[in-house]
Amino acid sequence: MTGSRPEPHTLAGAYAMDALDGQDRARFERHLERCEECTREVAGLHEATARLAGAAAVRPPDALREQLLAETARTRQLPPVTHGASPAPARRAPVVPGQRPARFRGRLRAPRLAVVLAGVAVLAAVAVWAGGTVVRSAPPTQSPVGHDVATVLTAPDLAVLSGQVRTGGTATVMMSRRDRMLVFAAAGLRALPGSQCYELWLMGPGADRPAGLLPMPKHGMSGPVVAAGLRTGDRLGLTVEPAHGTGRPTSPLILVLAL
Amino acid sequence: MSPPRSHGSLPAPGADLAALLARVARGDHAAFAEVYDRVAAPVFGTVRSVVRDPSLSEEVTQEVFVEVWRAASRFDACKGSPMAWMATIAHRRAVDRVRSEQRAAARDRRSAAPMIAYDDVAETVEDNLDRERVRRCLGALTELQREAVTLAYYGGYTYREVAGLLGVPAGTVNTRMRDGLIRLRDCLGVAR
């Protein structure tokens, strides 16, 4: 048994419950750095284990509180991890280099050269984003990215849209109507306090549907986030929402793109 | 103490905690005390179920919260709930402590009984909404899934140890842990 090397994917549950030790844990963590889907799965499982913790609640002795508060009062805190406070346009991936005036905001069906270049730039950024080293606090919970991004980018009906975010930053959407799927990425979004996130919406004739929270930006890039299930007449919206997202937008739209 | 910003709809408790953590990250000690008051019981309970020894449990719990205080700025609300973040820190610490003690001296635990404090009425927190729900959802798992999950989470055992305790291959334990947790997640409705 000791010699067996399980397929990393199957270890997500054991990892989420700290049932991996030593080398097993280290190996899985290396795998996590490359596997977006596992990262997302572990994050979901951690939400479940948090409930296991809740079920085990036991009130600690009162003295512990005093001791702890005395200790933290004299403990220096860690600074936040900075993600290139300025959007770092030099990171070879401004979303649309020098070309994002109004006409670019509309619908662009035929992948013109500039548009393709924009998509490539975003992809380059995505690659940087995916390969960058980041401090892993809690893993992201966005859609699995790599595979779906490839699906959209290789779709024969690939369309690319871009728009300015009202509060700062540029958003790019690559979309395939055939696959009813889009890839969203943004550059230079204003940083938000920890209690808030950017949330994407698909807004159609019916109810608005939440389409994902943007992960924390890395190197000035937010995303990619994949949203599936596009419907005819949908528009894509972006709002700032409380940390866990909401079922419907509760703040003004800071970006709207007709898809 | 200013209340967390309202966004018009009913605030989720998690969002509240996230707002508190954001204040903790800015050095707000009162906010930290409030975070402690709200999550001390699940954290302490989890640690104690793994560590068992009362004074060691207190020590580990204190370490967990010092870590929460220090690293609050690293909490990323877009990647998981505050409770998941803190429970993960707590469980990891408890397990690591137990394993390092274990390396020094054999752990004194003879039975394989999972240590969820179901009957530990005296000290448990009343009005625990999670407990009933979790109990029900654990009950919906297969026996092997349930045993694998409870031994790993509440007992702090590695999957190889769980395999030994249950007398099944380690690979089987892995898949049962994963399947069990996924079912638990779906049953508890915590999936995104």
d(CA A122, CA A125) in angstroms, rounded, equals 5
Last residue of a domain, one of A73, A89, A110: A73
Domain spans in chain B, listed from the N-terminal domain onward: 12-110, 127-192
The runs of H, that is alpha helices, within A11-169 are 12-16, 22-34, 36-55, 62-73, 113-131, 146-153
- Cβ within 8 Å, pair B58-A64: yes
- Identify whether A85 is part of a domain: no
- CATH fold of B127-192: Arc Repressor Mutant, subunit A (1.10.10)
pLDDT tier at B125, thresholds 50, 70, 90: low
- A62, A184, A225, A244, best to mutate vs chain B, most B CBs in 10 Å: A244
* C-alpha to C-alpha distance for B157 and B159, rounded to whole angstroms: 6
Identify whether residues A170 and A236 lie together within a single domain.
Answer: yes
* Chain mean pLDDT for chain A: 76
Mean pLDDT throughout B38-66?
96
What tens digit of pLDDT does each residue of B142-175 get? 999 999 999 999 999 999 999 999 999 999 999 9
Q: Is A32 part of a structural domain of the chain?
A: yes
Sign (positive or negative) of CA dihedral A226, A227, A229, A234: negative
For A39-82, the pLDDT digits (tens) are 878 988 999 999 999 999 999 999 999 999 999 999 999 987 65
Alpha carbon of B130 to those of A41, A107, B52, B142: distances in Å? Answer: 21, 48, 21, 20
Mean local confidence (pLDDT), B27-51: 96
Domain that holds residue A44: 8-73
Of A97-106, A139-148, B53-62, B65-74, the poorest mean pLDDT is in A97-106
- Are A143 and A210 part of one and the same domain? yes
Q: How far is B50 from B31, CA to CA, in rounded Å?
A: 28
Q: What is the pLDDT of residue B71?
A: 94
Say if A224 falls within a structural domain. yes
Provide the pLDDT for residue A145: 55
Whether residue A251 lies within 8 A of chain B, CB to CB, comes out as: yes
Find the mean pLDDT for residues B13-30. Answer: 82
Residues 32-51 of chain B with CB under 8 A from chain A are 32-33, 36-37, 40-46, 48-49
Q: Are residues A63 and A122 in the same domain?
A: no
Question: Are B75 and A251 an interchain contact pair (Cβ–Cβ within 8 Å)?
Answer: no
**Interface contact flag, A10 B178, Cβ < 8 Å:** yes
Read off the CATH number of the domain in which A21 is found.
1.10.10.1320
pLDDT over 50 at A147, yes or no: yes
CA distance A4 to B163: 13
Share of chain A above pLDDT 70, in %: 68
* C-alpha dihedral sign at A109, A113, A118, A121: positive
> How would DSSP label each residue in B1-45?
-PPPPP-SSPPPHHHHHHHHHHHHHTT-HHHHHHHHHHHHHHHHH
> How many whole angstroms separate alpha carbon B180 and alpha carbon B188?
12
Q: In this complex, which of B65, B92, B131 lies closest to A68 when CB atoms are compared? A: B65
Decide yes or no: CATH 1.10.1740.10 for domain B12-110. Answer: yes
pLDDT of residue A122: 57
Q: Which residue has the higher pLDDT, A181 or A2?
A: A181
Report the pLDDT value the prediction gives residue A88, as an integer from 0 to 100. 37
Q: Give me the pLDDT at residue A95, please.
A: 35
Give me the mean pLDDT over the A231-254 stretch: 86
- Residue A119: predicted pLDDT: 53
Give a yes or no: residue A78 inside a domain. no
Give mean pLDDT, residues B20-48: 94
Q: What is the pLDDT of residue B126?
A: 55
B82 touches chain A (CB under 8 A): yes
Question: What is the count of structural domains for chain A?
Answer: 2
Q: Which of A50, A55, A241 is nearest residue B128 as measured by Cβ atoms?
A: A55
ipTM: 0.86
State residue B106's pLDDT score.
Answer: 55
Same domain for A14 and A113:
no
CB contact under 8 A, B87 and A46: yes
**A251 lies in the same domain as A180:** yes
Of A62-66, B21-25, B72-76, give the range with the top mean pLDDT. A62-66
Same domain, A66 and A135: no
pLDDT bracket for residue A6 (50, 70, 90): low
A153 and A63 in a common domain: no
Interface membership of A246 toward B (CB under 8 Å): yes
Q: What is the pLDDT of residue A255?
A: 96
For residues A63 and A133, membership in a common domain is answered with: no
Q: Is A209 a residue whose pLDDT tops 70?
A: yes
> Does the residue A139 lie in any domain?
yes
- Taking the Cβ of residue B9 and every Cβ of chain A, the question of whether any pair is shorter than 8 Å is answered with yes
- Span A222-230, average pLDDT: 85
Searching chain A, which residue's CA lies closest to the CA of residue B118? Answer: A56
pLDDT score of B98 more than 70: yes
Confidence label for A253 from pLDDT (cuts 50, 70 and 90): very high
CB pairs under 8 A between A and B: 305
Report the share of chain A in percent with pLDDT over 90.
43
Residue A100's pLDDT band, with cuts at 50, 70 and 90, is very low
Spatial strand order of the sheet with A170-176 comes to A159-164, A170-176, A181-187, A221-228
Q: Which residue has the tokens 């055939």?
A: A178
Mean pLDDT across chain B, nearest whole number?
83
Chain B: nearest CA to A156, how far in angstroms?
Answer: 30
Q: What is the mean pLDDT of residues B18-38?
A: 92
At B128 the pLDDT is 72
Residue where one domain finishes, among candidates A58, A73, A88: A73
Does residue A111 belong to any structural domain of this protein?
Answer: yes
Q: Are residues A119 and A242 in the same domain?
A: yes
Are A232 and A131 part of one and the same domain? yes
Instruction: List the single residue in B22, B116, B125 with the smallest CB-CB distance to A194.
Output: B22
Q: How confident is the model at residue B105 (pLDDT cuts 50, 70, 90)?
A: low
Tell me, yes or no, whether A246 and A118 share the same domain: yes
| A56 interfacial to chain B (CB closer than 8 Å) | yes
Whether the per-residue pLDDT at B123 is higher than 60: the answer is: no
**Residue A81 lies inside a defined structural domain of this protein:** no
Q: What is the pLDDT of residue B30?
A: 95
Q: Which of B88, B103, B119, B190 to mutate to test the interface with A (most CBs of A within 10 A)?
A: B88
Taking residues A190-207, report their average pLDDT.
Answer: 83
Residues A207 and A118 in one domain: yes
Distance between CA atoms of residues A39 and A37, nearest Å: 5
Among residues A27, A52, A73, the one where a domain terminates is A73
